[in-house]
Amino acid sequence: MEISLQTLFEAIAQAQDEAELRQSVMKKVGEYFVATRWGLSFLSEFPSIDDNTPGMIKLALSLDHNPILRYLMERHAPVHEEVLLPPGVWQTICPRADHGHVMIGPIVFNALLVGGIAFTRHRDCSAFNQQNLLDLSAVCLHLSTRLATLRLQPIVALPTLNDARLTPREAQIAELVAQGLTGAEIGAALWITENTVKQALKRMFRKLKVSSRAEMIAKLSRSRPSRLS
């Protein structure tokens, strides 16, 4: 059965979690665009570039080498290689046959680029076209909205002290700390930077007059009302 844009929109809206979006939903999106390969990823998942990074990965993630990635980072807009390059030039930049044509689109949140979806076609297949870009713009809008909804679903936060005055975001961070998440993991879950998490924890420690995560969670837990009362 042919997949329509409306079918994709409905599948995105009905996805229960990110795993479903990455797997079954992205499979439908990949099939819609007749792609050889496809994927959804977040910038926080990109590997750090150092001397030990394989050369192909280093080039793929280099904004100087990869004009497609640079366009996405600068403009937050869908693009395929023939928008920026003459036919055939992309294959000199990326020699992989199954990446002979590439199209990417943005995942945005709170005016920031937080990730993207990518599609490739074999070099023997036709290139992506303008209609594909228009359709990808719509898909990215729906994906960004659904991912934001999933990541910002209310977290059952620990009851706070009356004088703690924790903000809703600080309460979310406290709950994730209680679940054992690291600063980087909390940042990824809430789409904020690890440094933002660190600064928030400093403020929370001052408010609660504690000096560690364990002490903070213990103090908040002691303030939890008894379920028997």
Q: What is the CATH number of the domain that holds 95?
A: 3.30.450.40
Residue 159 domain-assigned?
Answer: no
Instruction: Provide the 3-class DSSP secondary structure of residue 49.
Output: coil
- Do both 119 and 88 map to the same domain? yes
Buried b (16+ CB within 10 A) or exposed e, 172-208: bbbbbbbeebebeebbbbbbbeeebbeebbeebeebb
Residue 160 domain-assigned?
Answer: no
How much is the pLDDT for 19?
87
Q: How confident is the model at residue 228 (pLDDT cuts 50, 70, 90)?
A: very low
Q: Of 133, 147, 146, whose CA–CA distance to 78 is shortest?
A: 133
- Do both 113 and 195 map to the same domain? no
Q: Which of 151, 180, 208 lies at the terminal end of a domain, its last residue?
A: 151
- Comparing 188 with 170, which gets the higher pLDDT? 170
- Do both 143 and 192 map to the same domain? no
Percent of the chain with pLDDT strictly greater than 70? 84
How much is the pLDDT for 42?
86
Q: Which of 102, 125, 151 lies at the terminal end of a domain, its last residue?
A: 151
Q: How many domains does the chain have?
A: 2
- Do both 47 and 141 map to the same domain? yes
- Do both 85 and 144 map to the same domain? yes
Instruction: Provide the 3-class DSSP secondary structure of residue 104.
Output: strand
H-state helical runs in 116-193: 130-151, 168-178, 183-190
- Do both 50 and 146 map to the same domain? yes
Q: Has residue 98 got a pLDDT over 50? A: yes
pLDDT one-digit tens code per residue, 11-31? 999 999 888 999 999 999 999
pLDDT one-digit tens code per residue, 60-77? 667 778 899 999 999 999
Percent of the chain with pLDDT strictly greater than 90? 47
Average pLDDT for 98-121: 92
Place of tokens 């679940």: 179
Residue 26 domain-assigned?
Answer: yes
pLDDT one-digit tens code per residue, 44-64? 776 665 566 555 566 666 777
Answer positive or negative: Cα dihedral of 121, 22, 106, 193: negative
- Do both 77 and 174 map to the same domain? no
The CATH number covering residue 173 comes to 1.10.10.10
Q: How confident is the model at residue 187 (pLDDT cuts 50, 70, 90)?
A: confident
How much is the pLDDT for 227?
34
Average pLDDT for 177-190: 83
Residue 115 domain-assigned?
Answer: yes
Q: How confident is the model at residue 224 (pLDDT cuts 50, 70, 90)?
A: low
Residue 158 domain-assigned?
Answer: no
Q: Has residue 153 got a pLDDT over 50? A: yes
Q: Has residue 160 got a pLDDT over 60? A: no
- Do both 214 and 133 map to the same domain? no
Instruction: Show the domain range for 34.
Output: 5-151
- Do both 144 and 172 map to the same domain? no
- Do both 73 and 104 map to the same domain? yes
- Do both 144 and 173 map to the same domain? no
- Do both 31 and 128 map to the same domain? yes
How much is the pLDDT for 175?
84
Angle between helix 183-190 and 194-208 (nearest 10): 110
Do 106 and 113 meet the contact criterion of CB atoms below 8 Å apart? yes
Task: State the pTM of this model.
Answer: 0.68
Residue 156 domain-assigned?
Answer: no
Average pLDDT for 131-158: 84
Residue 86 domain-assigned?
Answer: yes
H-state helical runs in 36-153: 55-60, 67-75, 81-84, 90-93, 130-151
